[in-house]
Every structure is written in C-alpha cells, then in structure tokens.
C-alpha cells in the first residue's frame, strides 16, 4: 500500500476501518519507527464545494489527549486544509465488536474484565471533564495480552464540530434520548451508552439497535427495553435491575456515575484477571487480520525505515560538497596552507549545521576561485547561472544537492542517474532546476577533464584540480560551439520533472513509470543534441555507444533505489 506520506511523516499501510464520515488507516511513523493508527476526518464543504472553517477543534483536541492505561493514547492531533488527523497508538488486537460478531458473548469472567477497564477509562475521563458520547463495541479494543482499551475520546465532539454525526455525535443504538434530541448531556449520558454496551456484551443483543435517528428516538424514549435474562436465562437476576436502571429514559433515574454503575454490575460478574486471560485466547484465535498487518509491516521500505537519519545524510552530503567547493575555490587564492584548510573546514562545518547556507558559501568560494583562475567573464557567468538555481532549489529544500552530485556520479558512469534520483526525493519544479544544473555541471566537468561528447565521463584527477588551465581547453570550446547542450539541459530537467511527478503518488510502481519516462526523455534529449551537433560537425556523436553504457548503469542504480523503498513524499504539498 505505497502511498504519499500523511503529514509528511506517516506511510499508510492498510485501511483498518471506514465509517460514514471517517476512516482509520494503519500507518508507519517514519520518524519514530513505529506503527500507528490514524483516524482521518474530512471537513465539510459548502454548496460551492469550498471547505468550510470548522469550529470546536480545540475542545475536541483536548478531549482526545487523555492519558490512562485503558485509553488508547493519542500521539498527535493535527489538521491540514481539508482534514483532521488523529494519530493514535496502534492496538495490536481486535475490537469488542469483532469478538461479539465472531465468538458471541465472551462469558462472565471476560465480561468483568471489559466492564472494569471501560468503567475505569470513562471515570477517569469524567473526572477530567471529558465525555465520550460514543461508547460502543467498535470503540473498545482488546490487545493480544487481553488488555482492554477505549478509543475515540473526543471524536464525537470533533464530528459535531466539523458537521458530521447526529446532534452531539454518537451512534444510534448507543445514545440515550437526551443525546438523540440534542439536549444537554453529562456523565449520565455515558452511563446509558455504557449500559447498552454491557447489555450487548452479556447477551450479544442490543434492544435499541436501529439504522435511523427516528427509530433510535422511538426505542430509547417510548419502548421499555427487555430484561437481559429474557435473552439468557443463566444470567443472575440482579443484573436485570442494574442494567435497566442504568438504561432509564430520564437521566435522573440512572446511576450518577460510571463507577457506581460498574461497581454494582461487577458484583454479579466473574473474575477480571481470569477474564483477561480468556480475552487473550479469543484474540489469538482471530489471526487473519493480524496476518495482513504483519505482511504490510514487512513491506516497509528502506527509505521509510531510515528516514529519521535522512537529515544526517543530507548534512553529510552538504558538508562534503560545500567543503570541496570551498577547497577548490580557495586554492586559487594566495592563502597559506593552514588558512586554506581552515576556510574549507569552516564552510563544511557551516553546511553540517545549515546545509543551504553551507552550499551557498561553497558555491561562492568556487566562483571566487573561478574568477581568479579564468577571469571575470567565466566566473560571472557561473554566478549568474548558479545563484537563481540555489535560491529556488537549494535555499530551503536542498534539492540542488542532487545537481551538484552529478559530476561525482560521472566518475562511475552514473551521471544520468542524478536527475532521476533528484526527482525521486524532491518536488517537481525544484527537481527540474536541479536536473538542469546537474547537466550543465556534468558537461563542463567532463569537457574540462578531457571528455568528449556526450560529455558524461568525468575523471577522478579533475577533482583534485578542476580550475586548471584545461578549463578553457578546446573541449570546453567545442562543447559550447553548438546549441546541442541546450537539448541535454532540457532533457535532464524533463527527466527530473517526470520522475518527481510520478513519485508524488509515493508508490514504487509509479516510480518505475517515472524511471521509464525519464530514461526515454534523456535518450531523446541526447538524440536531439546529436542531430544539432552533427549539423555543425559530422564527427561529433552524442548517442549510440558513447551514451548507452551511462544510461544502462544509471538505470540499474535507479531501479535498486526504487526496489529498496517507495519515495518518502508528503501527501499534502
């Protein structure tokens, strides 16, 4: 389930549940390296289709952030332009609804374990001024250890705030009359819903179940509910009176607190400790969903797993690139050995702290050295070309590093991989700028180190002294003697753009499509350059045997990168 990252951090793995206005997905937190459950709630839209500004989000956020052993923890609570995201701990188990559906009533010991845990969670919430307002079997989760947790605190308030759900949230069949009619609610509202849950827990039936609000109002306000013993004659008779009192139509006739109701009910149930053991056995028998989750977990790619350390990799690359640029540029000045070394190290150190600033300093030092070695014309031309590229693609996103990495890749005959790898990880337009920059630098480095068309091979010796007199050699003059390089610039930019657009889906299959299209654009660009160059000099060859080894080696590298993991790209840009 390769998809774009949610909130630029969470990789969706599979859909866990979907309701009328929300969905829950299992996701991988690429920052904290753990599985989480994410509830996504879209904001409503007006008649023209525009998203309307929701109200009450602060209250819903506060309600969600309760910390209790029997409450599912909320790690993060955030919104974007049209959705709310609640990032919760992933409970490796199943819901009470699934247990009832697959196994039926779990017995008095297991029922005691559920009642004790849910009551503890609700009482804690009430003591902190939070109502649940949507207690139902789907919102009670049981782990593989038999531990019971309540989820979706604050969701009812949120659903109301953003225009979903009847009146004050809730689910028909688990809402008392006052909630159904939009009247004031309090702790006794949760007492009624909890009692309806306990009724279903004990006999696997809900006398208030219905598909409509009207039907729920009729059943909750007009019809007297049957006694639980009518469904199961083995239940202690005292349970009838306790549950029916908690299910009274008028709040004043119910138990005043969840704790009071649960204490009375637990006196007639089994042993909670034994119940947790039984629940663990039941959850262990329901393995099919857990198997699917495990398979999705195994598909987490290398780039997601290593994302917490990606910042270090970027800083290391920026430091190496900037330090080298500074070393080369300062070498052309009349500096002492210690001063030369200190200057390069200082730029590298700045790049480790602020990669964009370090890159700018390195490029500036290189430009100064270029002016010193070749004169103002070449140095000024370099500055005029590289400054807007850095401003757009390197000032904030560090995409320009992909272009600066192209000449080193040329040593291993991998230069064409640079635009494709840049597109794999950066946004489209910045990738295109970095791709064009990489093409220009690679062609110049190849020509200056003695290479010929298609100017993809860079010698290792060139890196030791790139600003030697050979920079104005005949190869460089031959390179710029025709418009052919313009076709290559466009091809690299187009390949990076195509790869980036394909990778916006953050899926391996889409990335493969981007690679195929990118390679095709690169070859087409070099073929066009070949036609242009041959119109001037028939002996110049930009394609064929001179190009294909580079494209083949680069394709192998790009395919390996794609196979290692889906692109770590944000869902919302």
Partners of residue 38 on adjacent β-strands: 25, 87
Report the candidate in 202, 201, 253 with the shortest Cα–Cα distance to residue 224.
Answer: 253
- Rounded Cα distance, 214 and 222, in Å: 11
Chain centroid to CA 100: 33
- Is 292 designated active site? no
Q: What are the C-alpha distances in Å from 1 to residues 295, 296, 567? A: 11, 8, 12
The SS3 call for residue 170 is coil
| Element of type H or E holding 201 | helix 187-203
409 CB contacts (<8 Å, ≥6 apart)? 415, 417, 418, 554
**Cβ contact 475:447 at 8 Å:** yes
**Cβ contact 492:419 at 8 Å:** yes
Phi, psi torsion values for 23, nearest 5 degrees = -140, 155
Q: Which of 134, 152, 304, 530 is catalytic?
A: 134
- Rounded Cα distance, 301 and 319, in Å: 27
- Rounded Cα distance, 281 and 113, in Å: 13
Chain centroid to CA 126: 33
Residue 137 is given by DSSP the state G
- Rounded Cα distance, 81 and 476, in Å: 50
Cβ neighbours around 196 below 10 Å, total:
27
321 CB contacts (<8 Å, ≥6 apart)? 351, 359, 362, 401, 404, 405
Q: b/e per residue, 494-530, with b = 16+ CB within 10 A?
A: bbbbbbbbbbbbbbbebbebbbebbbebbbbbbbbbb
Residue 72 is given by DSSP the state P
Q: b/e per residue, 393-426, with b = 16+ CB within 10 A?
A: bbbebbbbbbbbbbbbbbbebbbbbbbbbbbbbb
Cis peptide before 454 (omega within 30 of 0): yes
- Rounded Cα distance, 271 and 273, in Å: 6
User: Which two tokens mark 146?
Assistant: 């038999």
Residues labelled catalytic: 134
């Amino acid at each position: 389930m390769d998809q774009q990252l949610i909130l630029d951090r969470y990789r969706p793995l599979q859909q866990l549940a979907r309701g009328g206005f929300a969905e829950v997905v299992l996701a991988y937190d690429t920052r904290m390296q753990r599985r989480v459950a994410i509830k996504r709630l879209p904001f409503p839209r007006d008649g023209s289709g525009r998203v309307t500004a929701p109200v009450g989000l602060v209250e819903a956020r506060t309600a969600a952030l309760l910390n209790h052993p029997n409450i599912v923890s909320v790690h993060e609570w955030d919104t974007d332009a049209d959705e709310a995201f609640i990032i919760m701990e992933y409970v490796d188990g199943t819901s009470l609804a699934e247990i009832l559906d697959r196994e039926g009533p779990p017995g008095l010991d297991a029922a005691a374990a559920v009642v004790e845990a849910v009551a503890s969670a609700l009482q804690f919430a009430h003591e902190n001024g939070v109502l649940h307002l949507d207690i139902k079997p789907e919102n009670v989760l049981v782990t593989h250890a038999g531990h019971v947790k309540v989820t979706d605190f604050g969701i009812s308030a949120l659903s109301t705030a953003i225009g979903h759900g009847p009146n004050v949230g809730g689910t028909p069949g688990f809402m008392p009359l006052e909630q159904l009619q939009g009247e004031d609610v309090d702790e006794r509202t949760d007492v009624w819903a909890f009692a309806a849950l306990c009724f279903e827990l004990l006999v696997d039936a809900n006398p208030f179940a219905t598909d409509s609000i009207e039907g729920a109002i009729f059943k909750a306000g007009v019809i007297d509910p049957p006694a639980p013993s009518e469904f199961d004659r083995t239940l202690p008779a005292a349970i009838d009176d306790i549950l029916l009192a908690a299910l009274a139509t008028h709040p004043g006739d119910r138990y005043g607190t969840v704790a009071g109701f649960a204490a009375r009910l637990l006196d007639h149930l089994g042993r909670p400790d034994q119940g947790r053991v039984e629940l663990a056995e039941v959850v262990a028998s329901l393995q099919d969903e857990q198997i699917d989750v495990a398979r999705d977990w195994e598909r987490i790619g290398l780039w997601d797993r290593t994302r917490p350390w990606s910042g270090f990799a970027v800083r290391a690359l920026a430091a190496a690139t900037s330090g080298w640029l500074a070393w080369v540029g300062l070498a052309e000045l009349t500096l002492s050995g210690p001063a030369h070394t200190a200057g390069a190290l200082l730029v590298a150190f700045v790049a480790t702290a602020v990669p964009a600033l370090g890159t700018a300093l390195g490029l500036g030092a290189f430009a100064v050295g270029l002016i010193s070695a070749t004169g103002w014309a070449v140095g000024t031309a370099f500055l005029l070309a590289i400054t807007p590229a850095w401003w757009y693609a390197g000032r904030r996103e560090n995409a320009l590093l992909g272009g600066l990495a192209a000449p080193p890749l040329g040593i291993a005959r991998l230069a064409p991989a640079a635009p494709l790898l840049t597109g794999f990880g950066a946004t489209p337009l910045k990738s295109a700028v970095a791709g064009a920059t990489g093409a220009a630098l690679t062609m110049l480095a190849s020509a200056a180190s003695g290479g010929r068309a298609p100017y993809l091979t860079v010698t290792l010796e060139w890196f030791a002294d790139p600003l030697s007199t050979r920079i104005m050699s005949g190869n460089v003059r031959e390179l710029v003697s025709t418009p052919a390089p313009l076709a290559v610039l466009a091809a690299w930019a187009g390949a990076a753009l195509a790869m980036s657009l394909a990778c916006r889906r953050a899926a391996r299959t889409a990335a493969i499509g981007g690679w195929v299209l990118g390679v095709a654009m690169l070859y087409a660009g070099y073929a066009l350059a070949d036609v242009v160059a041959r119109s001037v000099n028939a002996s110049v060859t930009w394609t064929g045997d001179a190009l294909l080894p580079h494209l083949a080696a680069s394709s192998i590298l790009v395919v390996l990168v794609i196979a290692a993991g889906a692109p770590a790209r944000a869902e919302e840009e």
